[in-house]
Chain A
């Protein structure tokens, strides 16, 4: 039974780490708010009025309206990206599958860039996520159709199609960016947005992402047994009564929704969907009932942690978050690859 207990231990530890990190990220920032003040503000917000000398209204808004949504959006986005990566790697039996490699992220980006370019983003809060979702869904649908024939999916073709369509998406985004350079404001917004980040996120963003995150994660967990079976191949999965095609369809729709919502809220943040599930698979094995929740928590830890690190190390915000996750994630991933070659113990 220790066999089963270990993943649960890891998950509990990760959950504690996440809570600690989120607390630290809410309490820490460039504005000079002491721990005592912060606690007073929190207890005020929770409905226990506390009076404290030197408590200013701006402190409250910094804590409640700036830092909290930032941390929550970071946690939700990280969770969605990482769990979607884990699901994709499982359903396509390929360690390379992830929202970014399959072009889903860039599809979502393209949708959002178009919305920004056309000025739709200022019409409604929902325009950006909707556009991002359409971009993500179209991309994944196209990639899947290209690679599938009669219910069989060729993984190699799938990845290549993802890379190719991803390149098309990126090129189209760049084209639109080039077209909008004479409109300085729009161009700046697009550039900033494509780099990905959590600056200036509000409670609106939290409410936008939250339903997708909760529903998506819940539904993905629902499929964890099917994903275990798919790891052993489509024939095996069908043989034990799993409808492979409908499982894939559902999971694709769910991941497209989640990635679309995530990208629309904080731009494209790379490598979390690829790296986090791999690290966890190394730690706790291939079982999706553990791997999926652990990936969600791990993704949240990574994004909140990276954001906290950036805010602490470079207070002038010189490095965008998406750049930082890729710069940290890629070398770490390479390290794992090289190490794995010598001691392959999945």
Chain B
């Protein structure tokens, strides 16, 4: 496994409040990684650290062996692309325009798109099934369609690493499957995808590896079956759950929540946020 992205002893705090503590992780190519954990565990913060949006207070993130702070934002964006959690847009940009923004790290300020740029933009829209709505305004699309637009933007960006913050949070079940299938396809084409996902069932079904985070620390990582144990679910998600193998003897599991048990005041299960 060639390491693309790496965190060593990564820490981040707001003021004196530590949000991420001693995180050591290593990511290779062609994997779909799910970040799971209760609310406030630090999943979004970790994603922002991986993108270089915020500067770690301890340790560092390394991209292709070099600390992220040695890169300009523009160069980071040629390797990593982040699909934000909130993709609501009140502005009348067309689908094509948003997807075209993915070419920004490859273009100078006054440089216009070349034929190759346009081809990549079209290809990204084709993959995400957006070609027929290329000229529609994004503020008139559904949540699932907008999510796809942002994934298309990430594809057009040609960044081999895709970070996603709750890509399915605001979608109905059909669109959730659609988006995750798309990401799965990308990882099969050798992209690395790291997504914070709330839905344990979906995370288990689609991700190759899960990383369980709680209170800013990596608790455990491994296949869904290794991570989603009854014990972990009880301890970190405060639920009593049934866990059974899923599919054809694979490493996925089906999680059935039986009841919530509030043994931690700060780690209630709340899927509706």
Contacts and interface: CB of A to CB of B under 8 A. Distances in A.
Verify that A and B bind, or say they do not: yes
Interface of A: 3, 150-151, 222-223, 225, 228-229, 231-236, 238-244, 285-287, 345-346
7 contacts: A222-B110, A232-B93, A233-B84, A240-B105, A285-B93, A346-B91, A346-B92
A286 B139 CA distance: 12
A229 B102 CA distance: 10
Given A151-B54, A346-B90, A241 B110 contact: no
Nearest to A223: B109
A302 B25 CA distance: 58
B92 A232 contact: no
B170 interface: no
Given A241-B78, A241-B104, A286-B92, A236 B135 contact: no
B54 A222 contact: no
B94 interface: yes
A59 B154 CA distance: 64
B81 A239 contact: yes
B94 A243 contact: no
Interface string B87-128: 001111110011001101101011000000000000000000
B74 A286 contact: no
Contacts of B92: 285-286, 345-346
Given A235-B84, A235-B85, A345-B92, 11 more contacts: A3-B135, A150-B55, A228-B93, A233-B86, A235-B82, A235-B86, A236-B101, A238-B52, A239-B80, A241-B74, A286-B91
Nearest to B111: A225
Most chain B CB atoms below 10 A, which of A222, A241, A242, A345: A241
Interface string B51-73: 11111000000000000000011
A234 B53 CA distance: 9
The interface residues of chain B, by DSSP majority, are classed as: mixed
B90 A240 contact: no
A155 to B, nearest CB: 13
Contact of B51 (A150, A228, A238, A285): A238
A222 B73 contact: no
A334 to B, nearest CB: 20
A341 B239 CA distance: 45
B53 A228 contact: no
A270 B136 CA distance: 36
- What interface size band does chain B fall in? 35 or more
Contacts of B97: 228, 287
A338 B21 CA distance: 50
Nearest to A95: B90
Given A3-B94, A222-B109, A243 B89 contact: no
Contact of B157 (A233, A240, A346): A240
B169 to A, nearest CB: 15
Given A222-B110, A225-B109, A239-B77, A232 B82 contact: no
Contacts of A287: 93, 97
B153 interface: yes
A219 to B, nearest CB: 10
Nearest to A150: B54
B76 interface: yes
Contacts of B94: 3
A241 B77 CA distance: 5
A233 B97 CA distance: 15
A259 to B, nearest CB: 23
Contacts of B109: 222-223, 225
Contacts of B78: 241
A241 B84 contact: no
The 4 closest A-B pairs by CB, nearest first: A241-B77, A241-B105, A241-B74, A239-B82
A3 B92 CA distance: 12
A232 B149 CA distance: 13
A244 B54 CA distance: 11
Contacts of B81: 239-240
Nearest to B84: A235
A3 B86 CA distance: 27
B44 to A, nearest CB: 10
A286 B104 contact: no
A229 B157 CA distance: 14
A239 B51 CA distance: 7
B11 to A, nearest CB: 15
A255 B266 CA distance: 45
Interface in B8-24: 14
A235 B49 CA distance: 12
Contacts of B107: 225
Given A229-B104, A233-B84, A235-B84, A242 B73 contact: yes
A3 to B, nearest CB: 7
A231 B102 contact: no
Contact of A243 (B72, B80, B83): B72
Nearest to B73: A243
A240 B89 contact: no
Contact of A239 (B14, B54, B84, B91): B84
Contacts of B54: 150-151
A242 B52 CA distance: 11
B135 A240 contact: no
Nearest to A238: B53
B73 A241 contact: yes
